[in-house]
Amino acid sequence: MNLTKRPRRLRGNASIRSMVRETRVSPESLIYPVFFVEGEGIQKEIPSLPGQYHWSVDKVPTLVELCKSHGVSRLLLFGIPDHKDDHASAAYDENGIIQKAVRAIKAYDPELYVITDVCMCEYTDHGHCGILCGHEVDNDKTLEYLAKISLSHVVAGADMVAPSDMMDGRIGAIRRLLDEHGYVNTPIMSYAAKYASAFYGPFRDAAGSAPSFGDRKGYQMDPHNVKEALKECDLDVEEGADILMVKPALPYLDVLTKVADRYDLPICAYAVSGEYAMVKAAAAAGLVDEYRIMCESAISVYRAGADMLITYYALELADAMRKGDIG
């Protein structure tokens, strides 16, 4: 048979396959989500997220050393306060759970890169992502609080803030307040295209952030829409976002690709709690090879255009990258 073109020539062994690989990743692109709670001596597994934990601030050394042992040096922090009210006052308290966690991490290891989630749902007694006017979230009033929360995180030592609320104008409001206080070099990672997804269930259990009434479809995006995602990204870029995020990851790979093709900014994807929990459940039932599913799913996100990945599998993926199973 006279075949001059044989793609299999470049698949013959591991050495050639790794040499011609189109999608390359590294542990430096991984961001590990972490949940902090009030109290002491707490490292308690989260039932809805097997292998993930609630951490108390005094356990920061244990957490940091665990991450460093896997080569992960970038964290995304979420806080679960003891006190909740209608204005989410614990979210911007200088002694709030995130503020204390940031200071503790920076005191223990100043080089660890700390990103803080900026939202109000974990801190409000109604579970919505802003200030209510009746049963609706007041967009413009909420902006003041989101900016205040962001500033409190940066004052505590956060390297980057990541607003996840999906209020219109939030990037601009946060950028202005940070700049006014001299934090002109602090980047903002925007949850630019965040969909009203069914994949957030385990997170809401872990963070105690489920809304007490209604849903978030009035401010998170309709899963049917792609052009709207690009419009949201356009607005965030205009307002000063430094990184754009698509969330969730796997169900929105098409959106991720369109965003990556359109913008010169770094692109992040968030492999959310429901994605992680489904793989864990299927693996526990003996239905899939968890390790291979973990690797293949991550590859698909990077292949679709992500420059960085927020994932509950960050530690395991970093190990897999060093082994050459993904990289």
Kindly list the catalytic residues: 194, 247
Helix (H) or strand (E) holding 179: helix 170-180
Long-range contacts of 86-90 (CB under 8 A, 24+ apart): 86/124, 86/125, 86/126, 86/131, 86/132, 87/124, 87/131, 87/145, 88/120, 88/123, 88/124, 88/145, 88/149, 89/123, 90/123
Helix (H) or strand (E) holding 157: none
Which residue, among 34, 90, 41, has the nearest Cα to 64 in the 3D structure?
Answer: 34
Amino acid identity, position 116: T
Please provide the DSSP assignment of 222-239 as one string. PTT-SHHHHHHHHHHHHH
